[in-house]
Structure 1
Amino acid sequence: MTIAALLADKTTKTKAKTEALAGWLLDGSLPAEELVAFAETAKDADKGTCIEAIEYATQRRPDIATDGVFDFMVGSLAAKAPRVKWESAKVIGNTAHLFPDKLSVAVAGLLVNASHEGTVVRWAAAFALGEILKGHTAQHADFLASIESLAAQEQQNGVRKKYLDAVKKAAKK
């Protein structure tokens, strides 16, 4: 079955589509770059499903993300669709340690999304920013102040907790 056929199948629920795509990524039958190439021209709903599959797969195997996949995720942070924003942020969080030279651009997009009206978008941005902070990147000192400021401003406990947990873990290293 092709990516297009799977996503067009009205009898298969979105979660099952995501799991199928992630399975193909994990077993090597679908290169992540191929899924990204499909997602680049897909409608937002299908793009979100493709990115969610990459997020699911990178939880288990971050190494499936290539430079092109990471760049696509960073670019997708500016998408209109909230689901695309939050799934992209989660992929960035899962794979940030593999792309230390690309984090400044990712951080800029994540900081924009940290102010989004949608709680899930903010939570995903907090997750990714926290993972980057825990990695002790070169911009750690500058970045720590931004995270602490975001935590102080955040009204939602779940989002604030993501920031505060990252600050604590980063301080222990």
Structure 2
Amino acid sequence: MDLLGLLNNKAAKSTEKRAEIAEALRARHITIKEIQPLKAALDDKKMALVLEAMEAVSNKNPEIADLEWLHFARDFILSKSNSAKREASRVVGNIARLFPDDLRVAVQYLLENTGDGGTVVRWGSAYALARIIQIPAYANSELYDTLTGLCEQEQENGVKNQLLNGLKKAKKVRTL
């Protein structure tokens, strides 16, 4: 698949591009290793589109993702683009349970974004953190208390509800 050609095709709509990339990822016609070298050539909008496609695939078929997906998405959690931050966070949230031992850096980045002024960025971070906290090792860590504190401070209901739902499920697996 010519990903760069597709993303630069002005005749195709964003939804068509996203769907085509998602299908190529799902069918394994394109891999993260093939996308990786294109990072420098893609602007924020195009990269957000790639991350949206990754999110769509990882949401329905998380088992398709490998550790490269986690590392790729993690690198965009602190992007300048709010869309890229949001989608990268969602990818991490979708696949976190597959890689519980490789989340330390992603958790740090996600926590950093919980103080972002953009609601979509905080929501994306809350989405991922709410899934990570359900992993027993994290449910039994200080992250639980950190998220409880964030939840108490958060003013936006959508963000707060993500955290509350994750904490409620994590409470069931806590052994402390």
Asked if 1:63 is matched to 2:63, the reply is yes
Alpha-carbon distance in 2 for matches of 1:137, 1:148: 16
**1:113 corresponds to which residue?**
113
- 2:9: which partner in 1? 9
Q: C-alpha deviations, 1:84-118, integer Å up to 9, x for none?
A: 11110000001111111211111100000111111
Change (3 A) 1:144 1:40: farther
AA partner of residue 62 (structure 1):
P
Over aligned residue pairs, what C-alpha RMSD do you find? 1.5
Q: Does 1:101 align with 2:96?
A: no
Residue type matched to 2:163 in 1? Y
1:15 to 1:39, Cα distance in 2 relative to 1, 3 A: farther
Contact 1:76 1:84 in 2 (8 A): yes
SS at match of 1:58: helix
Percent of pairs identical after alignment? 33
Measured after TM superposition, the shift of residue 32 of structure 1 is: 3.0
Q: Are the aligned partners of 1:144 and 1:167 in contact in 2 as well (CA < 8 Å)?
A: yes
Deviating above 4 A after TM superposition, structure 1's stretches of 4 or more consecutive aligned residues are none
**Distance of 2:83 and 2:109 partners within structure 1:** 15
Where does 1:14-163 land on structure 2 (aligned, <5 Å)?
A: 14-138=14-138, 140-163=140-163
Task: State the shift of 1:139 in Å.
Answer: 6.6
Q: Deviations over 1:54-77 (max 9, x none)?
A: 111111221332222211211211
Residues 139 and 171, structure 2, Cα contact 8 Å, conserved in 1: no
Which runs of 5 or more residues in structure 1 are unaligned?
Answer: none
Question: Secondary structure of the equivalent of 2:136?
Answer: coil
Q: Does structure 2 retain, via aligned residues, the 8 Å contact 1:36–1:69?
A: no
Amino acid at match of 1:144: Y
Write out per-residue CA displacement over residues 113-136 of structure 1, whole angstroms, 9 at most, x where no aligned residue: 111111011001000000000122
Deviation at 1:5, TM superposition (A): 1.4
| Distance (Å, rounded) in 2 between the aligned partners of 1:40 and 1:143 | 34
TM-score, normalising length from structure 2?
0.92
Separation in structure 2 between the aligned mates of residue 72 and residue 108 of structure 1, nearest angstrom: 15
Structure 2: where are the runs of 5+ without partners? none
Q: CA deviation at 1:137?
A: 2.1
CA distance in 1, matches of 2:113, 2:49: 20
* In structure 2, distance between residues paired with 1:13 and 1:37: 24
**TM-score normalised by length of structure 1:** 0.93
Determine helix, strand or coil for the equivalent of 1:76: coil
Q: Would you say the 8 A contact 2:25–2:57 is kept in 1?
A: yes
Structure 2 contact 62–95 (Cα < 8 Å) conserved:
yes
